[in-house]
């Protein structure tokens, strides 16, 4: 209604309401470097394209005459009531997109009650972002460092700063072959020093031969060697359980057997995700993995979903495929690049407004009634 009223007064939105146009606009305004970092996928980009195709292929089957005047978008996730089935995905080094970086995104999310999942590769220390979050829920994403001292230090700092949900990302034991980053020699990434959480971490600093300020190159190399660990196996999850009191969610699950292992290990949830197509080129689309994982563990774990969500209809489809809520990645990052906190707010509002209308026009007054029978799958 707000947009109708503004239109009557001759005011049009500052950013497009079609969120799929934000990438192009960001490239025009910020140039190819920052957008290469955000848009880039693994290898030939086929997984990122498959994510979109798998959502597009599924079509909603709207129902009529179901009284949808009073709608409530809220959902229960990990024992919390969220205003809508949405969280902002962890994205590292947001200083590449905007000088206000993570705190701006966190404030926008907090103002709408949407959880913001802070990346451990954030360009702002987690303590500062916690302050920006105010009273909102604080979720922290961990790239599980090789050095257990650093891992413990991160968990202790996150706990002390009031983060309650831990999202441990498993699909990035190594950074993958990402041509758009490689062609730029990771320059935007390095300029953004996506390592503030590390560079300010006492355990990380203690392991350096010289202080970060004296030898930043050595510090960056040390960061790269230890930000994650290809040697981890399922029993290692014990360390997380031991040092974290709240819910733990494993991000990057695609195989139903891995989802079962997560449940057996006492985890609370999984994010079905292929990292927005940035890790395994040739991997299956996240939306194709989702129903199999939901079938396997939907009664034991909270199943979340990301990779390819761009519209309110995509949120609806993810719920119908078995997700409890979705994480949004690139679109809010473009919103941040284009207009800081206001740009992120614009993206959240547009997505939720479109989701609300999709629900209503499909005959649903809330997420709870959305299910398998609301979708058909078109040809591959």
Pattern 118-147, ligand FNR, x by CB under 6 A: -x-x-------------------x------
SS3 368: helix
Distances (CA, A) of 47 to 110, 282, 292, 308, 333: 31, 6, 18, 10, 20
C-alpha distance across the termini of the chain, in Å = 37
Contacts with ligand FNR by CB under 6 A: the residue count is 23
**Of 178 and 364, which has the nearer Cβ to ligand FNR?**
178
Q: Is 114 in the site for ligand FNR (CB under 6 A)?
A: no
- Name the nearest CA neighbour of 112 among 342, 304, 335: 342
| Nearest residue to ligand FNR, scored by beta-carbon proximity | 329
Site for ligand FNR in 159-198 (CB under 6 A): 169
Based on the shown chain and the rule CB under 6 A, indicate whether residue 328 belongs to the binding site for ligand FNR: yes
Beta-bridge partner residues of 75: 82
User: Angle 95-99-101 (CA atoms, 0-180°, nearest 5)?
Assistant: 50
Q: Minimal distance in Å, beta carbon 176 to ligand FNR? A: 12
**In the complex, minimum distance from the CB of residue 36 to ligand FNR, in angstroms, rounded to a whole number:** 10
Distance of CA 167 to the CA centre of its chain: 10
Q: How far is the CB of 1 from ligand FNR (least distance, A)?
A: 28
CB atoms within 10 A of CB 69: 6
How far is Cα 374 from Cα 81, in angstroms, rounded to an integer?
24
346 is catalytic: no
Q: Which residues 27-86 are close enough to bind ligand FNR by CB under 6 A?
A: 37-38, 51
- 3-state class (DSSP) for residue 308: coil
- Residue 178's nearest CA partner among 33, 78, 278, 258 is 278
* By CB under 6 A, residue 103 contacts ligand FNR: no
By rule CB under 6 A, what string of x and - marks binding of each residue 265-284 to ligand FNR? Answer: --------x-xx-x------
Is residue 122 a contact partner of residue 102, using CB atoms and an 8 Å limit?
Answer: yes
- Beta strand ranges found along the chain (DSSP E): 58-60, 75-77, 80-82, 86-88, 116-118, 138-143, 165-169, 248-253, 269-272, 302-305, 325-328, 375-377
Q: Are 94 and 116 spatial neighbours (Cβ–Cβ below 8 Å)?
A: no
Q: Is 308 annotated as a binding residue?
A: yes
309 is in an annotated binding site: yes
Q: List the structure tokens of 349.
A: 């509002």
The binding track of 5-24 with respect to ligand FNR, each residue x by CB under 6 A or -, is: --------------------
Within 13 A of 202's CA, how many CA atoms are on the CB side?
A: 5
**Residue range at the interface with ligand FNR (CB under 6 A); choices 64-72, 228-236, 301-309, 345-353:** 301-309
**Side-chain half-sphere of 108: how many Cα atoms within 13 Å?**
23
Catalytic residue among 98, 222, 275, 364: 275
Residue with tokens 């519209």: 311
309 part of the interface to ligand FNR, by CB under 6 A: yes
DSSP string for 19-53: GGGHHHHHHHHH-HHHHHHHH--STTSHHHHHHHH
Tokens representing residue 202 in the block: 């006492």
Q: Pick from 42, 86, 89, 166: which binds ligand FNR (CB under 6 A)?
A: 89
With binding defined as CB under 6 A, does residue 115 bind ligand FNR? no
The CB-of-39 to ligand FNR minimum distance in angstroms stands at 8
Given the complex with ligand FNR, which of 153 and 169 has the nearer CB atom? Answer: 169
Of 54, 91, 270, 359, the residue at the interface with ligand FNR (CB under 6 A) is 91
Q: How far is the CB of 84 from ligand FNR (least distance, A)?
A: 16
Could you say which of 107, 330, 346, 364 contacts ligand FNR (CB under 6 A)? 330
Binding site for ligand FNR (CB under 6 A): 37-38, 51, 89-92, 119, 121, 141, 169, 251, 273, 275-276, 278, 306-309, 328-330
Binding residues, as ranges, are 37, 90-92, 119, 141, 143, 169, 178, 251, 273, 275, 278, 306-310, 329-330
Binding residues for glyoxylate, as ranges, are 37, 143, 178, 251, 275, 278
Residues serving a catalytic function are: 275
């Amino acid at each position: 209604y707000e947009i109708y009223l503004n239109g009557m007064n001759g005011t049009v939105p500052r950013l497009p309401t079609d969120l799929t146009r934000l990438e192009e606009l960001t490239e025009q305004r910020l140039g190819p470097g920052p957008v290469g970092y955000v848009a880039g996928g693994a290898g030939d980009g086929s997984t990122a394209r498959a994510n979109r195709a798998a959502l597009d292929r599924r079509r909603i089957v709207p129902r009529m005459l179901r009284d949808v005047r009073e709608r409530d978008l809220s959902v229960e996730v990990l024992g919390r009531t969220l205003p809508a089935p949405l969280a902002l995905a962890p994205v590292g080094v947001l200083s590449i997109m905007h000088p206000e970086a993570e705190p701006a995104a966190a404030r926008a999310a907090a103002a709408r009650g949407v959880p913001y999942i802070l990346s451990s590769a954030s360009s702002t220390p987690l303590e500062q972002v916690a302050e920006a979050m105010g009273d909102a829920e604080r979720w922290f994403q961990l790239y599980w460092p090789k050095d257990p001292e650093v891992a413990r230090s991160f968990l202790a700092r996150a706990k002390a700063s009031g983060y309650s949900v831990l999202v441990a990302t498993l699909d990035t034991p190594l950074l993958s072959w990402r041509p758009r980053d490689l062609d730029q020699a990771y320059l935007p990434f390095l300029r953004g020093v996506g390592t503030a959480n590390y560079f300010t971490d006492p355990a990380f600093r203690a392991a350096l031969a010289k202080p970060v300020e004296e030898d930043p190159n050595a510090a960056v190399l040390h960061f790269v060697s230890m930000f994650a660990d290809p040697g981890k196996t399922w029993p290692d999850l014990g360390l997380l359980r031991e040092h974290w009191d709240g819910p733990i969610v494993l991000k990057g699950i695609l195989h139903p057997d891995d989802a079962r292992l997560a449940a057996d290990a006492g985890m609370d949830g999984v994010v079905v995700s292929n990292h927005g197509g940035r890790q395994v080129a040739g991997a299956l689309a996240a939306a194709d993995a989702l129903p199999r994982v939901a079938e396997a563990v939907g009664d034991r774990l909270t199943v979340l979903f990301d990779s390819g969500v761009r519209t309110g209809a995509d949120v609806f489809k993810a719920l119908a495929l078995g997700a409890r809520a979705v994480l949004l990645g690139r679109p809010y990052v473009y919103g941040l690049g284009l207009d800081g906190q206001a740009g992120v707010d614009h993206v959240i509002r547009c997505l939720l407004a479109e989701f609300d209308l999709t629900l209503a026009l499909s005959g649903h007054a809330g997420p709870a009634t959305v299910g398998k029978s609301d979708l058909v799958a078109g040809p591959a």
